[in-house]
Amino acid sequence: MTARDASVIWHEVECGGYTADLGLWEALAEERDGPILDLGCGTGRVALYLARRGHEVLGMDRDPAFVAALSEAAGDLRVEAQVGDARDFALEAQLDCVIGPMQLVQLFAGPDERIACLRCVAAHLAPGGVAAFAIVESMPEPLDPSPPLPDTREVDGWVFSSLPVDVALDSGEIRVRRLRQTVSPAGELSDELDEVLLQPLAAATLEREAEAAGLSPAGRRSIPATDAHVGSTAVLLAKEG
């Protein structure tokens, strides 16, 4: 198994089972005409869901392995996947809806990178178009003594398990750590600690940054918490008609 294969599998193990936000993205898609741009699409958790419900979707991600996996999974669905950076992209299309699920904008280093993304989005939205970004506004609660069961998947005899370890505020960033364990078909166990850093971000801050990029606040929607995921806020931003 190659490192590229493993990166795709870990992404699907840790993100593929999350469904709490899908109803929101579908509702936004239903309100719009034309294709939906899914920024940070990964292997297609949201893009494939929307496409199976009849929507045309353009997925964009920096990781070529994720884009290849989405393209393969899409089959005859109306999904186009391409490699690109949400902070610096240029498309020919004008879009009615752009989405950034799963704290995409909190992965950026700070306000300059967020505003760069927002400016790209504004440049690609048609008049009256809407963008929506999911963020976690508050520090997640510490894991309780009985953490959720690990996310697991078996692929070709390999077993992949990812267990949340802790969430902490470290040097002004939210640090999320997971213990990844792999069992080979021969029964050999290996493990590694994976860490993701998120920038703290309030909805009001993102709305102010959006105004600097040429977008207007257009409301907020709540995404409910689950047993394994904290609740989040979707910040809606509009381009004036």
Q: Render pLDDT for 43-98 as a digit per residue (tens, 0 to 9).
A: 999 999 999 999 999 999 999 999 999 999 999 999 999 999 999 999 988 999 99
- Domain boundaries along the sequence of the chain: 3-137+201-238, 151-198
For the segment 193-207, what is each residue's pLDDT rounded down to a tens digit? 999 999 999 999 999
Contact 96, 185 (CB under 8 A): no
- Residues written for the chain: 241
Q: Output the six-digit token pair for 121.
A: 């989005």
Judge contact between 97 and 131, C-beta under 8 A: yes
CA gap 184, 103 in Å, rounded: 32
Mean pLDDT confidence for 128-149: 79
DSSP character string of 115-177: HHHHHHHHHHEEEEEEEEEEE--SPPPPPPSSPPPPEEEEETTEEEEEEEEEEEEETTEEEEE
Topology (CATH level 3) of domain 151-198:
S-adenosyl-L-methionine-dependent methyltransferases (2.20.130)
pLDDT of residue 2: 72
The pLDDT of residue 183: 96
CA distance linking residue 14 with residue 102, whole number of Å: 12
- b/e 184-206 (16+ beta carbons within 10 angstroms → b): eeeeeeeeeeeeeebbebebeeb
- Whether residue 131 is predicted with pLDDT greater than 70 in this model: the reply is yes
pLDDT above 90 (res 167): no
CB-CB contact of 135 with 105 (8 Å): yes
161, two tokens? 């398990």
Q: What is the pLDDT of residue 149?
A: 83
DSSP structural state of residue 105: G
| CB 99, CB 37: distance < 8 Å | yes
DSSP code for 104: G
Distances (CA, A) of 156 to 9, 42, 45: 11, 21, 21
Give pLDDT tens digits for 12-35.
999 999 999 999 999 999 998 889
Among 3.40.50.300, 3.10.20.880, 3.40.50.150, 3.30.110.60, name the CATH number for the domain at 3-137+201-238: 3.40.50.150
